[in-house]
């Protein structure tokens, strides 16, 4: 690896947001966003995390700090939710206290992109703790499992066992799921608690809120009807329900 000049690093304003490589299919954009939107609800009170989707990560552990690695999704902890109160166009490690992502996600497409070798080496050198490879369609071709979680141990990745896989350093588990709210019945990835319960998507959360509101509306309507029947009975007895005598 060539020596990097760390004294003249470019700023994020000087760097492109990605490598301009188009995604292979719409799921490569949809699936990481599902994870992002759940986190936005789950961690809405927290300001110490960032989840990037198809965004360039600039780092000094490669040949050239101007050449980013672009995972389909990544999570960083211990950084500003919004950098300086603004949205990021890229993730520049030397502007993020040199904090690397704690998790990166790659989705394998019809055109192999070095997920099992080249990118694995990049993320290992960068210091990414968890590397998730999701390969639902081409895992037999690649002789791998459809869903794999690797953990960096002493500088190298080791394949982990279990799904959903619990990550104590993040406080979340990750695994495959089939969100009932998806009209296309697509398999997705989801976040899980320590007991293996999946955190709902935004659509599921909205449906749950609607159901709670509907139950409350129906309860209030039943109370209104009971009150109206009682008032009608009191009137039939010659009493004014609005001016009942005090006991």
* Closest by Cα among 38, 52, 123 to 81: 52
Q: Does any domain span residue 164?
A: yes
The burial class, CB within 10 Å (0-12 / 13-18 / 19+), for 168 is: exposed
Is residue 35 a contact partner of residue 189, using CB atoms and an 8 Å limit?
yes
Domain count across the chain: 1
Q: pLDDT truncated to tens, each residue of the chain (247 aa)?
A: 444 556 677 776 666 655 555 556 667 888 999 999 999 999 999 999 999 999 999 999 988 999 999 999 999 999 999 999 999 999 999 999 999 999 999 999 888 889 999 999 999 999 999 999 999 999 999 999 999 999 999 999 999 999 999 999 999 999 999 888 778 888 999 999 999 999 998 777 766 666 676 677 777 778 888 878 887 887 887 878 787 777 6
Quick check: pTM over 0.95?
Answer: no
Q: Does any domain span residue 240?
A: no
Establish how many alpha carbons lie within 13 A of residue 209's alpha carbon, considering only the half-sphere containing its beta carbon: 7
Please give the Cα distance from 205 to 7 (Å, whole number): 48
Please give the Cα distance from 125 to 229 (Å, whole number): 74
- Looking at residue 228, the DSSP 8-state letter turns out to be H
* Closest by Cα among 122, 117, 8 to 57: 122
Q: Does any domain span residue 224?
A: no
Q: Does any domain span residue 227?
A: no
Q: Does any domain span residue 246?
A: no
CATH number (domain holding residue 102): 3.90.1570
H/E segment holding residue 209: helix 202-236
Q: Does any domain span residue 48?
A: yes
DSSP string, 170-185: TTEEEEEE--TT-TT-
Is residue 141 a contact partner of residue 150, using CB atoms and an 8 Å limit?
no
Q: Does any domain span residue 120?
A: yes
Residues of the domain holding 89? 12-200
Angle at which helices 202-236 and 27-42 cross, to 10°: 50
Please give the Cα distance from 97 to 64 (Å, whole number): 19
* Residue 2: per-residue pLDDT: 42
**Does the bond joining 211 to the residue before it have cis omega, within 30 degrees of 0?**
no
Q: Does any domain span residue 226?
A: no
């Amino acid at each position: 690896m060539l020596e990097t000049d760390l004294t003249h690093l470019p700023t994020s304003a000087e760097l492109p947001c990605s490598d301009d490589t188009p995604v292979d299919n719409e799921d490569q954009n949809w699936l990481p966003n599902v994870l992002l939107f759940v986190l936005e609800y789950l961690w809405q009170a927290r300001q110490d995390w960032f989840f990037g989707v198809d965004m360039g990560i600039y780092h000094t552990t490669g040949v050239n700090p101007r050449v980013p690695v672009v995972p389909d999704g990544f999570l960083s902890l211990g950084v500003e939710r919004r950098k300086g109160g603004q949205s990021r166009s890229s993730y520049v490690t030397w502007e993020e206290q040199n904090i690397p992502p704690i998790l990166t996600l790659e989705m394998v497409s019809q055109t192999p992109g070095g997920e099992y070798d080249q990118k694995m080496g990049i993320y290992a050198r960068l210091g990414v703790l968890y590397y998730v490879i999701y390969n639902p369609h081409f895992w037999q071709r690649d002789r791998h499992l459809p869903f794999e979680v690797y953990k960096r141990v002493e500088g190298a990745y080791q394949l982990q066992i279990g799904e959903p896989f619990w990550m104590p350093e993040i406080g979340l588990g990750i695994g495959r799921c089939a969100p009932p709210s998806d009209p296309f019945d697509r398999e997705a990835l989801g976040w899980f608690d320590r007991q293996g319960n999946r955190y709902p998507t935004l659509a599921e959360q909205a449906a749950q809120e609607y159901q709670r509101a509907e139950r409350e509306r129906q309860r209030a309507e039943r109370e209104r009807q009971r009150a109206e029947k009682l008032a009608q009975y009191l009137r039939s007895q010659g009493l004014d329900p609005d001016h009942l005598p005090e006991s």
